[in-house]
Homo-oligomer: A and B are copies of this chain.
Amino acid sequence: MKATLILAALGCTWCWGQTPDDCKPSVLNIPEAKYPCVYSDNRAMFRVVAPDAQKVTVRIGRGFDMTKGPDGVWSVTTTPLVVGFHYYSLQIDGATVADPSTMTYFGSGWQNSGIEIPEPADGDYYRAKDVPHGHVGQQWYYSKITGKWRRCFVYTPPDYGTNAKAKYPVLYLLHGWGEDETGWYTQGHVDFIMDNLIAAGKAKPMIIVMDNLNAVKPGESAALFAARGLVPAPGAAPAGGTPGAQAGRGAPAGGRGGGFNLSAFTDMMLTDLIPATERAYRVLPGPQNRAMAGLSMGGMQTFTTALNNLDKFAYLGGFSGSCGGRGGTFDPKTSCGGAFAEPAAFNKKVKLLFLGIGSAEGQGTKTFSEALTTAGIHNVYFESPGTAHEWLTWRRCLNDFAPRLFK
A32 in the interface (beta carbon within 8 A): yes
- A225 at interface (Cβ–Cβ under 8 A)? yes
Q: Which of B50, B111, B239 contacts A92 (CB 8 A)?
A: B50
Which residues 164-179 of A have a CB within 8 angstroms of B? 164-165
A242 at the interface (CB under 8 A from B): yes
Taking the nearest CB of chain B, how far is it from the CB of A88, in angstroms? 13
User: What's the tally of chain A residues with a CB closer than 8 Å to chain B?
Assistant: 80
Q: How far is the CA of A71 from the CA of B238 in the complex (A)?
A: 6
Q: Are A53 and B98 in contact (CB under 8 A)?
A: no
Residue in B49, B140, B242 whose CB lies within 8 Å of A95: B49
Within the complex, the shortest CB–CB distance from A28 to chain B, in Å, comes to 11
Q: Is A338 an interface residue (CB 8 A)?
A: no
Q: Mark A79-101, 1 if CB is under 8 A from B, else 0.
A: 00000000000101111111111
Bound Cα distance from A90 to B96, whole angstroms: 12
Q: Are A231 and B138 in contact (CB under 8 A)?
A: no
Q: Does A136 contact B (CB under 8 A)?
A: yes
The reply to whether A140 and B161 form a contact with Cβ atoms under 8 Å apart is: no
Is A33 within 8 A of B231, CB to CB?
A: yes
| A47 in contact (CB, < 8 A) | yes
Is A377 part of the binding interface, using a Cβ–Cβ cutoff of 8 Å? no
Q: Which of A90-118 contact B (CB under 8 A)?
A: 90, 92-104, 106, 109-111
Smallest CB–CB gap between A103 and chain B, Å?
6
In the complex, are the beta carbons of A32 and B230 less than 8 A apart?
A: yes
A130 to B147, CA, bound (A): 12
| Interface membership of A54, Cβ < 8 A | yes
Quick one: given A135-B138, A135-B139, are A222 and B53 in contact (CB under 8 Å)? no
Chain B's nearest CB lies how many Å from the CB of A26? 13
Would you call B225 and A31 a contact (CB within 8 A)? yes
Judged by a CB distance under 8 angstroms, whether A15 is at the interface is no
Who on chain B is nearest to A34 by CB?
B233
- CB closest chain-B residue, reference A90: B97
A73 within 8 A of B: yes
Closest chain B residue to A245, Cβ basis: B49
> Contact at A95–B50, with CB atoms within 8 Å?
yes
A281 within 8 A of B: yes
Contact call B109/A30, Cβ cutoff below 8 A: yes
Residue on B with the closest CB to A21? B233
Chain A stretch 211-231: residues in CB contact (< 8 A) with chain B: 214, 222, 224-225, 229-231
Chain B residue numbers with a CB within 8 Å of A34 are 230-231, 233
Our pick among B49, B128, B141, B149 for the contact of A242 (Cβ within 8 Å) is B49
Partner of A52, one of B69, B93, B164: B93
Give A181 to B359 CA distance when docked, in angstroms: 37
For A72, list chain B residues within 8 Å (CB).
Answer: 94, 238
CA distance A216 to B29 in the complex (A): 18
A73 close to B111 (CB less than 8 A)? no
What are 13 A-to-B residue pairs whose CB atoms are below 8 Å?
A31-B222, A49-B231, A49-B242, A51-B93, A54-B54, A54-B93, A56-B95, A71-B236, A72-B94, A73-B238, A135-B139, A138-B185, A164-B164
Interface on A for B, CB 8 Å cutoff?
13, 20, 30-35, 47-56, 69, 71-73, 75, 90, 92-104, 106, 109-111, 128, 130, 133, 135-142, 149, 154, 156, 161, 164-165, 185, 191, 214, 222, 224-225, 229-236, 238-239, 242-244, 280-282
Can you list the 4 inter-chain pairs with the closest CB atoms, starting with the nearest?
A137-B137, A50-B95, A52-B94, A51-B94
